[in-house]
Amino acid sequence: MSQFSITVTDTDGSTRTISIPSNPKESLMQVLNKQSFDVPGSCGGIASCGTCHIAILEGKVSTEMSEDEDWMLDDLDNREENSRLSCQIPTVADLDGLKIKVIGE
């Protein structure tokens, strides 16, 4: 299994670069939780709570945003142009070099 790295700024302003195994069956939210970032994912990863809200600062996510994800983000007061729900992003190698900021709900 290949590894890749992303840089994460948490809700407290701290920034860490983490190494992640490529696993399309695991979401970015799950990985961030394992790494102790502030992404509770209260709904269990079904795009219905917004607690795993992130902003893409640099890089690109190849997974298209679903209508459910877009609808959930529209419900949040703090949606940004580059907002995504980390529960909807599979951890695949094309995320290598991604820079994100954890926003939460």
What digits encode the pLDDT tens for the residues 11-42? 999 999 999 999 999 999 999 999 999 898 89
| Integer Cα distance of 32 and 4 in angstroms | 14
| pTM for the whole structure | 0.94
| Integer Cα distance of 92 and 72 in angstroms | 23
| Integer Cα distance of 92 and 58 in angstroms | 16
The residue range of the domain holding 35 is 3-102
**Residues paired with 85 in a beta bridge:** 53
Distances (CA, A) of 67 to 47, 71, 95: 10, 6, 22
Q: Report the alpha-carbon angle 31-88-6, nearest 5.
A: 40
Query: pLDDT confidence of 1, banded at 50, 70, 90?
Result: low
CATH label of the domain that carries residue 59: 3.10.20.30
Domain count, the chain: 1
